[in-house]
Structure 1
Amino acid sequence: MNLSETINNIRATCKNYIDPNLFAFIIDDDCYMGTNNILDIEGYGINDDDTYEERLLKISKSENIFLPLGMMTFMPMINECDIFTDEDYTFHLTQEEFDTYFDKEEKLFGILIKKDSDDYIIGKTDVCSCSIDASFEKLEKTDCEFYNTIAKIVNKKIIE
């Protein structure tokens, strides 16, 4: 994966679900969310004149980074999930699929880039890191339309 190009590709279309200057989250090794205010972070060899992408690349050498690709909202009474990204999707899930993926709160979905690598995990996070228990959770891979669509969105955004 070309991380720099992937970051630019995602930032170019993320305004529907998140501010492009607040779109990446630091995730610690225990999967808890850290800051997403990349422009205000110091250290990591960051210079004042570094672009957002340059800052994020420097941070990614020492930290896990979550890059959201969209937002998901679940509706329990009708086993439905709406996905908002550069395109919008509505899924009517089976009870088993709903039980596998359901969250009470809106969640961001995307990829967790492991520190100093091109390896990534498809998952979801809280919309905001302001809660002490805000965290990243890996999405269980299944062969259902819901997961396959998320994987398709991921594959569309990653630049090799």
Structure 2
Amino acid sequence: MNLEKTIENIEKTADSYIDPELVSTIVYDNYTLGTNDFNSLNEYGIQKDDSYAKKVLKVLEKENVFINLGMLTFAPVINECDIYSTEDCTIQLTAEEFEKYGHLKDKYFGILFSKNSQDYVIGVCDLCGCKIDACFRELEDTDDALIKKIKEIINDKII
């Protein structure tokens, strides 16, 4: 994986679901959320003229970084999940899958890179990082329709 190219790829297509300059979020070791405004960071060796991808890479040397790939919303009764990403889609879920994932209403989904690594896990973050209980939650790797679709979106973005 070319991490810099992957970040650039995600950033250049993110404007359909989030401001591209806010696509990354610091996630501390206890999974609580830090800032998503990498342009205002003065630490981590960041220079004003660094590209957005370079800023993310510099932060990643010392912090875990979540990269947002879209948003999930769920429609009860009809057991659907709407995915807003570079291409919006609706996934029909079984009753069991809706029971399993329906609580993730209005969450960002994406990949969390471990600090100083290209290792990542798939998960969700709260839309508002300012909530007292805002955090990253890893998603279980299953063959459920929702997880398959999220993996498809991720694989399309990784270079």
- State the percentage of identical aligned residues: 49
8 Å Cα contact 1:71/1:106 also seen in 2: yes
Partner of 1:2: 2
Paired residue type of 1:17: Y
Number of residue pairs aligned between Structure 1 and Structure 2: 159
Deviation sequence 1:59-115 (CA, Å, 0-9, x none): 000000000111110112221110011111111211111122122641110000000
Instruction: Report the TM-score when normalising by structure 1.
Output: 0.95
Partner of 1:132: 132
Deviation sequence 1:121-149 (CA, Å, 0-9, x none): 01111112111211111112221222111
Instruction: Supply the distance in 2 between the matched residues of 1:105 and 1:148 (Cα, whole angstroms).
Output: 18
1:20 aligns with 2:20: yes
Deviation (angstroms), 1:35? 0.5
Instruction: Supply the distance in 1 between the matched residues of 2:8 and 2:22 (Cα, whole angstroms).
Output: 13
Question: Any stretches of 5+ residues in structure 2 without a counterpart?
Answer: none
Deviation (angstroms), 1:117? 0.2
Instruction: Supply the distance in 2 between the matched residues of 1:104 and 1:153 (Cα, whole angstroms).
Output: 18
Paired residue type of 2:154: V
Decide whether aligned partners of structure 1 residues 95 and 134 sit closer, same or farther in structure 2, where only a CA change above 3 A counts.
same
8 Å Cα contact 1:101/1:139 also seen in 2: no
Instruction: Report the TM-score when normalising by structure 2.
Output: 0.95
Instruction: Supply the distance in 1 between the matched residues of 2:68 and 2:42 (Cα, whole angstroms).
Output: 22
Partner of 2:93: 93
Instruction: Supply the distance in 1 between the matched residues of 2:56 and 2:19 (Cα, whole angstroms).
Output: 15
Please, what is the CA RMSD of the aligned residues? 1.1
Partner of 2:52: 52
Instruction: Supply the distance in 1 between the matched residues of 2:67 and 2:19 (Cα, whole angstroms).
Output: 12
8 Å Cα contact 1:73/1:83 also seen in 2: yes
SS, match of residue 91 in structure 1: strand
Partner of 1:37: 37
Question: Any stretches of 5+ residues in structure 1 without a counterpart?
Answer: none
Decide whether aligned partners of structure 1 residues 38 and 30 sit closer, same or farther in structure 2, where only a CA change above 3 A counts.
same
